[in-house]
Amino acid sequence: MRKQEERHIIDILFVIGLFCIFALSTIFLISIGADIYGKTVSNTEINFNDRTSFAYVTEKIRQADRSGAITASTLEGRSALKLQKTVQDTAYITWLYEDEGYLKELMVREDTPLSLSAGQEILPVSDFSVSRIQDNLLQITIHTADGDDCSLSVSLKADPYVSPAENEEGGAANEQ
């Protein structure tokens, strides 16, 4: 009888031990999965910010890609992208630049005074620079808020030596 009781106790302890091992394994796997999920979400957010900032700037360049309309410039001592456009005989300038930790966009009439703080916040970045490395090639460098340095070269399709006014007059007929 005593041996039978010992056998039942050993059986119960074995089942409890097996259950504890299973529970600890489950908790361990869940914590690993949660860690992997957190890293994936973080990397996705970083990639989103990097790619979205480049896609946004590239799309703005493509929209303004007319001869002489795109300039690597400075705005209050900061590197900026200057995009010129004429709408109903009124000249407008769109500025893309970094201010207060954000990539900002500011569209103003050509004769309007500027204020960096007036720009619309697009995405968080720590630095934004634009340079012309060849006649039809811009180098855009964005230092993201998380510390990554990303560069992109954008080829312009339009002739850089024709003024925007000449392009608007001659380009309108070509677009139709």
Give 59-77 pLDDT, tens digit per residue: 999 998 888 888 888 888 8
Average pLDDT rounded to a whole number, residues 50-59: 88
107, part of any domain: yes
| Residue 169 counted as domain residue | yes
Beta bridge partner(s), residue 106: 95
Q: Which domain, by its residues, includes 108?
A: 44-175
Q: Identify whether 154 is part of a domain.
A: yes
**Of all residues in the chain, what percent carry a pLDDT higher than 90?**
40
DSSP class of 92: E
Q: Give a yes or no: residue 171 inside a domain.
A: yes
Identify whether 32 is part of a domain: no
φ, ψ dihedrals at 58, nearest 5°: -60, -40
Give tens-digit pLDDT for 125-169: 999 999 998 888 899 999 887 788 889 899 888 766 554 444 444
Q: Which pLDDT belongs to residue 5?
A: 65
Question: How many whole angstroms separate alpha carbon 90 and alpha carbon 130?
Answer: 26
